[in-house]
Structure 1
Amino acid sequence: MSKIVLYGFDGSTYVRTVRMLLAEKAASYELVPVNVLKGEPREPAHLARHPFGKVPVLDHDGFRVLETSAIAAYLDEVLPGPSFTPDNPKDRARMRMAMSFIDSYGYGALIGVAGFHLFPDFIGGQNEEAKQQAIATSRRVLAELMKLRGGDAHIAGARPSLADLYLAPICFYVGLTSDAEEVFAVDGFAPWWERMQAMPSYQATAPQLG
């Protein structure tokens, strides 16, 4: 039996993305905790795994994969179970565009909103002006993602893709804040969010808060 070891922090949205995928694939794995809030990714043991001190890191039968996009694509390809990569070029392009939007523009903004309320020390304190800018950028990103989705149930088609697994864990944290209603007031977002929250893999991977 192949062995999967995932290094990461239970509270990391990117680690949850990978954990959701593993749950969807019904794959067994070992989660080795690396606490981001305690600075553990910057310690020598983890820097030996990831030179830039990031999580997650994946080891699969002696093969190491870094960066969530590469980890998710690799696992989706090598593990049995439902595919989370669309089967046609246009929908694959939609998925990849969405993942790039999230990585490049969405993550920092959405986590900026969540962090203002939930972990201000981690993001450098509470700055109201910065929060308002983050809300505006978050709404813009979500609007573009919903435009990509169009009339489909999910971002890149009728079925969930890696793009959906990217976005949902980040929205989880925003959803815990008093700014969620404003951030999420984007055409098309509500039905997508309801579908994602209903997924068993989403429910099974909720971080342990507190």
Structure 2
Amino acid sequence: MTGIVLYGFDGSTYVRTVRMLLAEKGARYEQVPVNVLKGEPRQSEHMARHPFGKVPVLDHDGFRIIETGAIAPYLDEVLPGPSFTPDSSKDRARMRMAMGIIDSYGYGALIAVAGYHFFPDLIGEPDEEARKHAIVSSRRVLQELMKIRGGSAFIAGEPPSLADFYVAPICCLVSLTPDANEVFAVEGFTRWWEQVQAMPSYQATAPRFGWDLLFAAAAAGRGVS
């Protein structure tokens, strides 16, 4: 398949989710940057792509898709290469539970940990109680994800799935904070984290610009979906 255009900045964890999948598929694509700090997601050009001013957005041969929860399964289905959707109904449920947890609870909690340390000016005055709450919430998220994983190598089974691509980019942000050891002190997490970091797609999709823009975008909590 050809004609893939991905709209979004490298600092978005959700954009990186899609980029990891594209890397695993060996797919060629064009990436069009959408800079959160310059307000580009809210400018008319991008609002025409995504009515809520979020990234990523994907165009594929004239077909436009918004929201990572729709983009990733679509690409996994239509692109050649290995599938990252489990074969069994139970493992697919595990994958979808993990993706839902990140969307509903995990993103906000884990991003709050990173934002506290790197760009507090974007989230208001440093609040120690808020930091502690974010750590507790983040650990709860990771504990549930590792519970879903059980004895499997990855979150939804022995091979990696879309769930791992959802979780890894956000954990990358937290890993660079002084709170990483406390947040990651969850049974089963270390093994999973080591395996994910060793994946070529994880290594190939590290943001290409300075961490300042990455954390500013993350701390702002804007323009990602």
Report TM bin, short chain.
Answer: over 0.9
Match of 1:35 in 2: 35
Match of 2:220 in 1: none
For the residues of structure 1 that align with 2:49 and 2:124, how far apart are their CA atoms?
Answer: 26
SS at match of 1:121: helix
Match of 1:20 in 2: 20
Match of 1:154 in 2: 154
Q: Which runs of 4+ in 1 moved over 4 A?
A: none
For the residues of structure 1 that align with 2:124 and 2:80, how far apart are their CA atoms?
Answer: 42
Match of 1:105 in 2: 105
For the residues of structure 1 that align with 2:125 and 2:170, how far apart are their CA atoms?
Answer: 19
Match of 2:190 in 1: 190
1:125-163 deviation per Cα after TM superposition (whole angstroms, max 9, x unaligned):
422211111110000000000000000000000010000
Please give the TM-score of this superposition, normalised by the length of structure 2. Answer: 0.91
Match of 1:57 in 2: 57
For the residues of structure 2 that align with 1:55 and 1:73, how far apart are their CA atoms?
Answer: 16
For the residues of structure 2 that align with 1:29 and 1:18, how far apart are their CA atoms?
Answer: 11
For the residues of structure 2 that align with 1:5 and 1:160, how far apart are their CA atoms?
Answer: 24
Percent identity of paired positions between Structure 1 and Structure 2: 76
For the residues of structure 2 that align with 1:107 and 1:63, how far apart are their CA atoms?
Answer: 27
User: Can you give the 5+ residue segments of structure 1 that lack an aligned partner in the other structure?
Assistant: none
TM-fit CA distance, 1:118: 1.9
Look up the equivalent residue of 1:180 and give its one-letter code.
A
Q: Kindly tell me: are residues 42 and 121 of structure 1, through their superposed partners in 2, closer, same or farther at Cα, counting changes over 3 Å?
A: farther
Match of 2:96 in 1: 96
TM-fit CA distance, 1:33: 0.3
SS at match of 1:122: helix
Look up the equivalent residue of 2:75 and give its one-letter code.
L
Please give the TM-score of this superposition, normalised by the length of structure 1. Answer: 0.97
SS at match of 1:20: helix
Look up the equivalent residue of 2:99 and give its one-letter code.
M
Aligned residues: 210
Contact 1:7 1:32 in 2 (8 A): yes
For the residues of structure 1 that align with 2:23 and 2:121, how far apart are their CA atoms?
Answer: 32
Aligned: 1:137 with 2:137: yes
By relative contact order (CA 8 Å, sep 6+), the higher-ranking structure is 2
1:99-147 deviation per Cα after TM superposition (whole angstroms, max 9, x unaligned):
0011101000000001111232333442221111111000000000000
User: Can you give the 5+ residue segments of structure 2 that lack an aligned partner in the other structure?
Assistant: 213-225
1:151-178 deviation per Cα after TM superposition (whole angstroms, max 9, x unaligned):
0000000010000000000000000000
For the residues of structure 1 that align with 2:38 and 2:53, how far apart are their CA atoms?
Answer: 13
Contact 1:120 1:126 in 2 (8 A): yes
1:73-97 deviation per Cα after TM superposition (whole angstroms, max 9, x unaligned):
0000000011110001000000000
What value does the CA root-mean-square deviation take over the aligned residues?
Answer: 1.0
Contact 1:96 1:163 in 2 (8 A): yes
For the residues of structure 1 that align with 2:12 and 2:18, how far apart are their CA atoms?
Answer: 10
Q: Kindly tell me: are residues 118 and 147 of structure 1, through their superposed partners in 2, closer, same or farther at Cα, counting changes over 3 Å?
A: same
